[in-house]
Structure 1
């Protein structure tokens, strides 16, 4: 079957859908606060930079269902260093539906299903050669596949205590490890924890796995934003390896626990620990920490900073590709006068490889132009020092078009 011929009509369909569907919304960088299922007060929306991740937008109180989607296409050019100079084209289209179960006799329930089409240009493997991944939409091959399919249930919703579960297929970064202010950066190290993705095929793009997540928080539903919770605990049992989407727990198991603290709007601290075992592979144990803080807010502008760090350990020699990661950056909303919906984001990162002890370091700067509500243009430049710890330093320029 010609995968490209399948992808083209899917992408065109999503573009047409984006032009006609009134329930489209920006995809939130993470889904730490579960979508509000019971009716909730209307809140003011703030500009959100687009991301390539396929996280369903939450339903508002007037919606029984929402059809959503986005299409990201990019030209990636290795200008110098790496394996060799050259350019490649990547594209990803996602379309899905989220359905509220209340009107179907399933109170406090959300059901979700989405599919994804990938056109892989292989810039990283053929041109750049970095381990962390200069593009977060470069798949291993071109194909159409199931992206998400989950059932989410609110078991308890009362002031000071909410309990929620999600069962099915989803991206681990939609529940754990995510850093909102880094989500629009293109380098893969600013998405799911590199201590996971660098050592095993975790449940994330391009192939999501199956899992169960329980979330407990002390949200009141009355603070701004709606559903704001100062304290959150997440416990997950996920598919360990996602080499295939069938027989999920025959591929090992990932246990993960994350605690979140939000002392105020614009301030978040996350601490997580995890253990991956089974599938005939060495056991791995890891931990991660991330923090986000609003540094400045004014009329039509805001500056936020983020830091993230992670580590992984194994008792088996040579079981690890990398054992440490450290990243940081700033996200500036409204950097130009008269353009409050644009974003300028800077990120730096470093990973240490094992057993060599060498490092891959990167600096990335991106500017997101909001053309209109559903069209965004993002020029991006990355400097990658010693890709995979051995290759010459690479300069990578990317131009990405995002259609909602």
Structure 2
């Protein structure tokens, strides 16, 4: 009964955006202009409606970007248990960036800080999935300065250096087309064991553009951060990562695509749980726009896109942490599927992980969502996820939820 009510609510949220907003109907269709139905005053400049002052503006050298994410999810079927499995979880991101040149500081470049707070409860103990249900799930609630780094161009070499505590997924292993999914597997799941949310770590990154279409990045990270104080974790393990990105236009259609290839290597280290073995991996990512609606452009594309990713890893010995020897992702998204909802995004994707925990030793996750932009500050996103044998050992599970994103 609970699932039927929840699904009905999700259905209404998904389908209502398909109807034109009030005041947008035309008595007579105009073929010469897609804007003929909209009064001219709509396009007049409007003041920033956010709660926080706009004096923290890039033109002044300081950019402040506060965003709040809140979501309610329930385990409707299967997994470990459905009893008492409806919970709220939230994430507050406070990002502060300083352009040192605009501020006339003695140092060049820019400095970025990210404060994060998570609260509420996740469904990890109810579903048991390796691919965590939500990309704001920090496993345990956190209040911390997650990132603090300095970025500078190295003279006129064309190379940019970033030094400090940072999230690996902000530069590496990112799939832009998959960024609107909620499941953590479509970003960089905490279960991957890499220095990303909720435990980024100190790093040095070098990056350059070899041409307008080719970029190269390389980084050295303090791996497996085991404490929340100090600059380094002192576990002796270092992560090396390199990535090559090629941006292109597909033959015939000339639609944009991105091909990414990378490799990782982690040295041996030690934590209280045991010895960390050395490990290496490689990954391939491919994104491609398949169809673009007439009238849309590169700045605001509307249409169908697809992506795939594969990331196998290999370890020299048994690790004290859960391992994912192989994983793969694939999915599609459509921007502007419904008339007069050009900024809304709908998507469907799947993730597969090869495990070493017994049972079926594999887990498949399927996610579908609709991301509706209510206004410039608020986004609502109903979401459904289905898991086959979570962690390879639990019954198939169905998870339903809804997220809101509020730009303060």
Scaled to the shorter chain, the TM-score interval is 0.7 to 0.9
Aligned alpha-carbon RMSD (Å): 2.2
Which runs of 5 or more structure 2 residues have no equivalent in the other structure? Answer: 1-47, 250-254, 271-275, 297-301
Q: Is the 8 A contact 1:215 1:234 kept in 2?
A: yes
Task: Find the counterpart in structure 1 of residue 203 from structure 2.
Answer: 211
> TM-score normalized by structure 2?
0.78
Partner Cα distance (1:183, 1:147) in 2: 20
TM-fit CA distance, 1:331: 1.3
Task: Find the counterpart in structure 2 of residue 113 from structure 1.
Answer: 113
Matched residue SS, 1:185: coil
* Matching residue within 397, 405, 408 for 1:402: 405
Partner Cα distance (1:312, 1:198) in 2: 13
Task: Find the counterpart in structure 1 of residue 15 from structure 2.
Answer: none
Task: Report matched runs for 1:129-278 at 5 Å.
Answer: 129-156=128-155, 162-192=158-188, 197-200=190-193, 202-219=194-211, 229-245=212-228, 246-248=230-232, 250-251=234-235, 252-264=237-249, 266-278=256-268
Q: Is the 8 A contact 2:226 2:233 kept in 1?
A: no
Which runs of 5 or more structure 1 residues have no equivalent in the other structure? Answer: 1-15, 25-58, 220-228
* Matching residue within 371, 378, 383 for 2:381: 378
1:294-337 residue CA offsets vs partner (Å, 9 max, x unmatched):
11111352211100001000121467622000110011100110
The size of the alignment, in residue pairs, is 337
Task: Find the counterpart in structure 2 of residue 65 from structure 1.
Answer: 62
Distance 1:108 1:269, change over 3 A: farther
Matched residue SS, 1:341: coil
TM-fit CA distance, 1:79: 0.3
Partner Cα distance (2:179, 2:217) in 1: 20
**Bigger shift: 110-119 or 313-322?**
313-322
Based on CA coordinates, which of the two structures has the bigger radius of gyration?
2
> TM-score normalized by structure 1?
0.79
TM-fit CA distance, 1:141: 2.0
Task: Report matched runs for 1:89-100 at 5 Å.
Answer: 89-100=88-99
Q: Is the 8 A contact 1:318 1:354 kept in 2?
A: no
Q: Is the 8 A contact 1:23 1:68 kept in 2?
A: no
**Bigger shift: 310-319 or 380-389?**
310-319
Task: Find the counterpart in structure 2 of residue 225 from structure 1.
Answer: none
Matched residue SS, 2:160: strand
Q: Is the 8 A contact 2:225 2:233 kept in 1?
A: no
Matched residue SS, 2:227: coil
Q: Is 1:309 matched up with 2:302?
A: no
